[in-house]
Structure 1
C-alpha cells in the first residue's frame, strides 16, 4: 500500500496524535519521523524545527478547541454560555490530553496571531458579554477564567482530586457556580 505523501498538515496531525498517545513532551521530530516511517531529515521540508512542530500542534489544538467552544456557547448567554465554554475546554482536555498540553505553553508569534487564537479570544469575549463586566475589565476576567479552568484541569489530569470526596464533578460545578457569581458581581474600581 503506497504511503500518503508528507505535507506540513499531515506531519502536524501525526505529531498531535503522538502527543495524545504519549504526552506532549514526547513530540520530537525523530519520534514523528519514526511514526511516519521516514527519516528525520525528510520532515525538515515540511516543518522548520521542533519549535515549529510544537507550534503546529498548538495551532491545531486552538482551532479544534475554538470549534468546540463555538458550538457549546451558540445561542447561550450568562451561566449557560459559561458552562458551555468551560465544559468544552474540559471535554477537550480529557479527550485530547496531549493537544491540551500543547495549549499550556508559550506559543510562537505565528500561533498567537493566528485566526484560531483570535477566534478563542472572540468566543471568550462573547461569554463575557453575558455579564456586567466592563469592556476595559475583560482582560482581568479572561485571566480569571483561564486560571480557574486551566488550573482545575491540570489538577484533574494529574489525579489531584482522586484521594478525597466528593467527586471532582461536584467541585467542578461549584467552581462554575463561583465563577458565575463573581462575573455577575464584578468588582468596580470605585
Structure 2
C-alpha cells in the first residue's frame, strides 16, 4: 500500500483490525508498518510510540463498543435491558476480541474523560441499571459483578473452555436470568457482613 493517505485515524483503524486478527497485545508499530507497506519510521509522524497507538486503539474500540450497546438499552428497562445489554456485550467481545481487549486497557483519567466512547459506555451501563432498585454503593458493586461475570464467561467461551455438552448459549441465558433476579433482590449490607475474607 502506498505511503500517501496515511493518517492517525487510518492507522488507528488498521491497528484495531489487526488487534482483532492477532490479539491486542501482539500489535506493534512494525507490524502495522508492514500492513501499510512502509518503513516503521514513516508511522512516527502520526503516532509517537506504541503506547500512543494502543491508547488510540482503546479509545476507538470504546466508541465501537458503545455503538453496539446503544441500541441494546434503547427503550428497554429491567431484565429486558439487562438481557439485551449482555447479549450485545458478548457479541462484541466474541466478534472483536482485539478491540474488546483494548477496552480493558487502563487509561489515564484525563484520556477517559476526553473519550466519547468511554463516557458512553458508562452512560449506557447506568441506563441499563436504572430499572433495578439499586443505590450507591450497591450500584457500583452490581456493575463490578456484571462486568466480571460477562468478562469471565466470554473469555472462557472464546478459549473454547466450556467442555460440557450443554449448549453454551443456554448457560448464558440462565446466567443472565440469575443476574436479573439478583439485581431485583439485591442483598442488604447486613446480609453480606459475614462474607468478608
Q: What is the match of residue 25 of structure 1?
A: 25
Q: What is the match of residue 67 of structure 1?
A: 67
For 2:48 and 2:124, locate their aligned partners in 1 and report how far apart those are by CA, in whole Å. 31
For 1:40 and 1:152, locate their aligned partners in 2 and report how far apart those are by CA, in whole Å. 38
Q: What is the match of residue 82 of structure 1?
A: 82
Q: What is the match of residue 120 of structure 2?
A: 119
For 2:140 and 2:172, locate their aligned partners in 1 and report how far apart those are by CA, in whole Å. 23
For 2:53 and 2:110, locate their aligned partners in 1 and report how far apart those are by CA, in whole Å. 12
Task: Say if 1:23 and 1:97, in contact at 8 Å, map to a contact too.
Answer: yes
Residue 183 of structure 1 and its aligned partner are, at CA, apart by 0.3
Specify whether residues 100 and 129 from structure 1 end up closer, same or farther in structure 2 by C-alpha distance, changes over 3 A only.
same
Q: Which runs of 5+ in 1 are unaligned?
A: none
Q: What is the match of residue 12 of structure 1?
A: 12
How many residues of Structure 1 are paired with residues of Structure 2 in the alignment? 189
Is 1:50 matched up with 2:50?
A: yes
Name the TM-score, length of structure 1 as normaliser.
0.93
- Which secondary structure state, in structure 2, belongs to the residue aligned with residue 76 of structure 1? coil
Q: Which runs of 4+ in 1 moved over 4 A?
A: 1-4
Note the aligned Cα RMSD (angstroms).
1.6
Specify whether residues 183 and 33 from structure 1 end up closer, same or farther in structure 2 by C-alpha distance, changes over 3 A only.
same
Q: Which runs of 5+ in 2 are unaligned?
A: 191-197
For 2:176 and 2:116, locate their aligned partners in 1 and report how far apart those are by CA, in whole Å. 28
Q: What is the match of residue 174 of structure 1?
A: 174
Residue 66 of structure 1 and its aligned partner are, at CA, apart by 0.7
Q: What is the match of residue 140 of structure 1?
A: 141
For 1:148 and 1:121, locate their aligned partners in 2 and report how far apart those are by CA, in whole Å. 17
Residue 4 of structure 1 and its aligned partner are, at CA, apart by 4.9
Q: What is the match of residue 131 of structure 1?
A: 132
